Amino acid sequence: MSEADDAAAPAPGQPRNPLHGLTLEAIVTALADHYGWEELGQRIPVRCFNVDPSVGSSLRFLRKTPWAREKVESLYLFMLREERRAGRG
C-alpha cells in the first residue's frame, strides 16, 4: 500500500465520513473556489459571505455559529455529490 492509498483510506472510527480530517478553512476555501463568494452568499445568506467576504471573517463567524457551520458542511457534502455525479470526483 502506498502513501497515496493511505490518504484515501477512511480513518478508523470515521468510515466514509468525507468531512473527517478536513479543517473548516479547507471547506470554506473549497466552497468559495467552487461557487464563488456571490453564489455562496446566495446559497447561505449570512453577512460573512455577502459583505466584504474573506476566509478569515467566515471562519470567525462559523466557529461561533453552529447552525451556520452545519449549513456550510451540508453544502460542502452537496458539492461533493454534484462533482461525483458529473464524473469529476
Q: How many CB atoms lie within 10 A of CB 13?
A: 7
Does domain 21-85 fall under CATH 1.10.720.30? My reply is: yes
Can you give the pLDDT at residue 3?
42
Domain ranges of the chain: 21-85
Per-residue pLDDT tens listing for the chain (89 residues): 444 444 444 446 677 888 888 999 999 999 999 999 999 999 999 999 999 999 999 999 999 999 999 999 999 999 999 999 988 55
Can you give the pLDDT at residue 88?
58
Can you give the pLDDT at residue 12?
61
Provide the terminal-to-terminal Cα distance of the chain, rounded to the nearest Å: 21
Rounded Cα gap, residues 84 and 47, in angstroms: 30
- Threshold 0.85, pTM exceeds: no
Give a three-class secondary structure readout of 64-85: HCHHHHHHHHHHHHHHHHHHHH
Burial of 76 (0-12, 13-18, 19+ CB in 10 A): buried
